[in-house]
Chains A and B, each alone.
Chain A
Amino acid sequence: MIAIRAFCVVALAFVWGSAPNPRAQNAPPANAQESPAAKLTPDDIATGKQLYAANCASCHGVDASGQLGPNLHGVVQRRGEQGVFGIVRNGMGGMPPLMSINDQRVWQVIGYLRTLGETVSAEAATGDPAKGKAVYDANGCATCHTIGTAGGAVGPQLTAIGRSRAPKYLHDFLLDPGKNPPADMSLPERGANTGYLLVHVATKDGRDMTGIRVNEDTYTLVLKDVSGHFYTYDKTKLKTIEAEPGKSVMPSYTNLSATDLDDLVAYLSSLKGAQ
């Protein structure tokens, strides 16, 4: 059994990244082919903003810059109006289908999202992305994270993190990674569990381990260590199970200068991945 607490000094950057999802290919319903979003009035856009606040903000953030769900700034431009309509209606990853509003209202939301563009309230990063890459390399982030095809696989891949997370989120997360952990939506049937939750277990036969929770139900608990090994426990054979919310195997980057931190955020924000 590997006690991974000893490995916590490794520079791990656990930042939620949205993996490409095949369900992004959701086709819009037949009645949505004409893209009604093109005909929306300013009143419709205002209504769309209200609808967004009531139906979407709790996951995507009040300013749509991402919270449990990804940053939506630019989502309409990237995926197209029909594509967003399909996601709203059919769901995607951990997002359930939204059935509480009718088609016209969905288009009003899409109209509002379209006005957000790429940045707006999700303020642009101020640092130098090129310098930020040097900070990324120097701090060993690639030990656990993959960008493109290179890097480790303990943390989420960061290939397109700039699309799903706003600079402020990245900045705050780097300073306190345990405070606002990303939701784990990799298993939609469980809903949005706390992602990368540290759990310490002690078995009845005297062993113990701390690991990242990968899966948990009423009967079993699956942990992962920093080497990527999985450990499945029968809960009836565990003496204690202690979740450690607020903690992360990723250390805080308070040791970075403000300039280095801004540069690192700018680099991460520049990672838009492949379409």
Chain B
Amino acid sequence: MRTARYFVFLLAFCFALPSFAQVSYDRLRNSNSEPSNWLMYGGNYGSQRFSGLKEITPKNAASLRVAWAYQMRGGGVMESSPLIVDGIMYVTEPPSNVTALDARTGKPLWHYVPVVPRDFVPIGLFPTNRGVAVLDDKVYLATIDDHLIALDAKSGVVRWNSLIANKDDGYAITQAPLAINGKIVVGVGGGEAGAHGFLSCFDAKDGKLLWRTYTVPRSDSDPGADTWANGSWSNGGGTTWNTGSYDPELNLVYWGTGNPAPDWNGEGRMGDNLFTCSMVALDADTGKMKWYFQFTPHETHDWDAAEPPILFDATIDGKPRKLLAQANRNAFYYVLDRTNGQFITGVPFAKQTWAKGLDAKGRPITFPPEQIEPSVAGTLVYPSLTGGINWTSPCYSPLTGLFYVNARDGFAYYIKGEPKMAPGNSVGIIGGGGGGGRMSGPDETTTWIRALVATTGEKKWEYKMVGDSWTGTLVTAGGLVFSADAAGNFFALNADTGEPLWHLLLGSSVRSNPVSYAVDGKQYVVDSAGNTLFVFSLP
């Protein structure tokens, strides 16, 4: 009798609660085959942010409504891109907290708050977190004070905690790590704090460091050191502060790098300053750099190349190609051959006034320095300090062949400062580096959802928004593109035409990347506004 009752209890338990399933590397690698889940930051290893779900379409999108909402426990603005695994949602909250929610109802299941020194203030970035990674039975979190922490996916209990970098050297982390085959890859932020950028890879089982590759030289004999005059590589920069992508077949990790230091004044670091403002391709097993492509040599406007690279395959000139596309903060859209870094094409996707164009190898042909370089009085240049795009993610649909990007047409008066860098010392910076700039205000800035032909960058359609939107894009197999404007209107557009189909004012700014998932066959779309996560579905 007691056994039977116990069995009933167990059975009820199984049906009542979401199940915590294992997320194997094979599942991650084949994430496109299970569109009900959103298994990694970029949706798949190509960071395409494409959902294969089709329930919500242009015909019924007008019926979308809020299914549930979750308010963060603390203050701040949620910038997290949640993961959804078999009915469980993992979302992060500032500065580095993780909450597991029942993806059907929004009910919290567990909450993890790491110990972060209360007086720690990261330099050059807001203390937030943009997501986690999952692999096997663990959830992986990179904290604002540079720890990589493995949590038990069922309970939020810490399984291991490894130090990635020293916060006192200017490092801080806001990105979601990337889980690959038995490994966790994670970058660092701190480009305005004299930090030297690097990418690290840890053993997913025990947190042991497997490799670390620096993106700027650390000695005169290091590759690229001859592109920093007078040993100025010691200033650092080239941080790896946004999540990258991975090609399992090539076994290459792709990551964008940030500005050289100091920013806004390059006089003390003449040269191209490798490997800053570049895309780097690293061997996932060794960290060895296979190739690099520098978008903005000797960068002086804070145009990091940190935007997520989107990997896709297409035919160009009759030949199948493995491609990498990036909408760069410098306002150019680039297509590279991801096997070797060869430049294929590059065109502006947002207004820019700093380059006449790109040469045959993709190097910018810049206007004269007096026209574009930061000055004491301020030099007006498009795009702004925050770029043609910033950290938010574009998306790509294999169904339309279009690359959808939230593009910003804005300017800044770039001001040159007097940098006094102290290598590896966060105390030694002036004004976040060498200067700064007044950016165009909302009435002077226009943001657009632009649909580009992924192989060429040709604009197919655009949708104009009011104000300075900071929201990523999501595209679905149902034929919709989701994003939001500056005021917090979350909207759906027809992915083929850009026609607006539905919107809802969420009441605060939307600073996150939307995702989609399904539970019990029902499709949901997720984004956050202010401190609240909103989940939408059809009635």
A217: B residues at CB distance < 8 A: 466-467, 485-489, 505
| A216 at interface, CB cutoff 8 A | yes
With beta carbons under 8 angstroms apart, the residue of B413, B418, B432 that contacts A58 is B413
Q: Are B441 and A54 in contact (CB under 8 A)?
A: no
| A189 at interface, CB cutoff 8 A | yes
Question: Which residues 395-418 of B sit at the A interface, judged by CB distance below 8 A?
Answer: 413, 415, 417-418
| B465 at interface, CB cutoff 8 A | yes
Min CB distance, A201 to chain B, in Å? 14
Question: Which residues 124-165 of B sit at the A interface, judged by CB distance below 8 A?
Answer: 124-127
With beta carbons under 8 angstroms apart, the residue of A58, A97, A100, A243 that contacts B192 is A100
With beta carbons under 8 angstroms apart, the residue of B118, B122, B442, B491 that contacts A190 is B442
| A31 at interface, CB cutoff 8 A | yes
A47, A55, A101 — which one has the most chain B CB atoms within 10 A of its CB? A101
A53: B residues at CB distance < 8 A: 415, 417, 431
Q: Which residue of B lies closest to A32 (CB)?
A: B119
In Å, the complex CA distance between A53 and B264 comes to 14
Question: Which residues 376-405 of B sit at the A interface, judged by CB distance below 8 A?
Answer: none
B119: A residues at CB distance < 8 A: 29-31
Q: Are A218 and B468 in contact (CB under 8 A)?
A: no
B509: A residues at CB distance < 8 A: 189
| B436 at interface, CB cutoff 8 A | yes
Q: A50-B417, A217-B505 are in contact. Are A99 and B121 (CB under 8 A)?
A: yes
Q: Which residue of B lies closest to A106 (CB)?
A: B121
With beta carbons under 8 angstroms apart, the residue of A51, A99, A192, A218 that contacts B122 is A99
| B538 at interface, CB cutoff 8 A | no
In Å, the complex CA distance between A9 and B349 comes to 46
Q: Are B443 and A219 in contact (CB under 8 A)?
A: no
With beta carbons under 8 angstroms apart, the residue of A58, A99, A216 that contacts B438 is A58
A198: B residues at CB distance < 8 A: none
Q: Are B431 and A50 in contact (CB under 8 A)?
A: yes
| A191 at interface, CB cutoff 8 A | yes
Q: Which residue of B lies closest to A194 (CB)?
A: B443
A59: B residues at CB distance < 8 A: 438
B491: A residues at CB distance < 8 A: 218
B438: A residues at CB distance < 8 A: 58-59
| B535 at interface, CB cutoff 8 A | no
In Å, the complex CA distance between A59 and B485 comes to 24
| A193 at interface, CB cutoff 8 A | yes
Q: Are A193 and B442 in contact (CB under 8 A)?
A: yes
Q: Which residue of B lies closest to A216 (CB)?
A: B466
| B427 at interface, CB cutoff 8 A | yes
Q: Are A99 and B124 in contact (CB under 8 A)?
A: yes
B193: A residues at CB distance < 8 A: 102
Q: Which residue of A lies closest to B118 (CB)?
A: A30
Min CB distance, A235 to chain B, in Å? 9
With beta carbons under 8 angstroms apart, the residue of A55, A99, A190 that contacts B123 is A99
| B240 at interface, CB cutoff 8 A | no
Q: Which residue of A lies closest to B170 (CB)?
A: A102
A103: B residues at CB distance < 8 A: 121
In Å, the complex CA distance between A190 and B441 comes to 10
| B181 at interface, CB cutoff 8 A | no
| A197 at interface, CB cutoff 8 A | yes
In Å, the complex CA distance between A179 and B221 comes to 57
Chain B interface mostly: loop
B436: A residues at CB distance < 8 A: 54-55, 58, 100
In Å, the complex CA distance between A100 and B436 comes to 10
In Å, the complex CA distance between A219 and B463 comes to 12
Q: Are A47 and B430 in contact (CB under 8 A)?
A: yes
| A92 at interface, CB cutoff 8 A | no
| B457 at interface, CB cutoff 8 A | no
Interface size on B, residues (CB 8 A): 44
Question: Which residues 51-90 of A sit at the B interface, judged by CB distance below 8 A?
Answer: 51, 53-55, 58-59, 89
Question: Which residues 476-514 of B sit at the A interface, judged by CB distance below 8 A?
Answer: 485-489, 491, 503, 505, 508-509
Question: Which residues 423-443 of B sit at the A interface, judged by CB distance below 8 A?
Answer: 426-427, 429-432, 435-438, 441-443
Min CB distance, B512 to chain A, in Å? 14
Q: Are B442 and A191 in contact (CB under 8 A)?
A: yes
Q: A189-B508, A194-B443 are in contact. Are A55 and B431 (CB under 8 A)?
A: yes
Min CB distance, A225 to chain B, in Å? 21
B429: A residues at CB distance < 8 A: 101-102, 105
Q: Are A197 and B123 in contact (CB under 8 A)?
A: no
Q: Are B126 and A97 in contact (CB under 8 A)?
A: yes
With beta carbons under 8 angstroms apart, the residue of A47, A58, A101, A218 that contacts B465 is A218
Question: Which residues 189-227 of A sit at the B interface, judged by CB distance below 8 A?
Answer: 189-194, 197, 215-219
A50, A190, A192 — which one has the most chain B CB atoms within 10 A of its CB? A190
| A121 at interface, CB cutoff 8 A | no
Q: Which residue of B lies closest to A90 (CB)?
A: B75
Residue interface mask A120-138, B partner, CB < 8 A = 1? 0000000000000000000
A55, A100, A183 — which one has the most chain B CB atoms within 10 A of its CB? A100
Min CB distance, B443 to chain A, in Å? 5
A190: B residues at CB distance < 8 A: 442, 467, 486-487
In Å, the complex CA distance between A210 and B413 comes to 32
B530: A residues at CB distance < 8 A: 189
Q: Are A54 and B124 in contact (CB under 8 A)?
A: no
| A35 at interface, CB cutoff 8 A | no
Q: Which residue of A lies closest to B413 (CB)?
A: A58
B487: A residues at CB distance < 8 A: 189-190, 215, 217-218
Min CB distance, B259 to chain A, in Å? 13
| A259 at interface, CB cutoff 8 A | no
| A115 at interface, CB cutoff 8 A | no
A55: B residues at CB distance < 8 A: 431-432, 436
Residue interface mask A3-39, B partner, CB < 8 A = 1? 0000000000000000000000000011100000000
In Å, the complex CA distance between A217 and B122 comes to 32
Min CB distance, A119 to chain B, in Å? 25
A100: B residues at CB distance < 8 A: 123-124, 192, 431-432, 436
A197: B residues at CB distance < 8 A: 443
A245: B residues at CB distance < 8 A: 443
The 7 closest A-B pairs by CB, nearest first: A54-B431, A217-B487, A100-B432, A58-B438, A31-B119, A189-B509, A218-B485
Taking Cβ atoms with an 8 Å cutoff, the residues of A that contact B are 29-31, 47, 50-51, 53-55, 58-59, 89, 97, 99-105, 183, 189-194, 197, 215-219, 243, 245
- 17 interchain pairs, CB-CB under 8 A: A50-B430, A50-B431, A51-B431, A54-B415, A54-B430, A54-B435, A58-B413, A58-B436, A59-B438, A99-B126, A100-B431, A100-B436, A101-B431, A102-B121, A102-B193, A189-B508, A217-B485
A-B contacts besides A54-B431, A99-B123, A217-B466, 4 pairs, CB < 8 Å: A29-B118, A31-B119, A54-B415, A193-B467
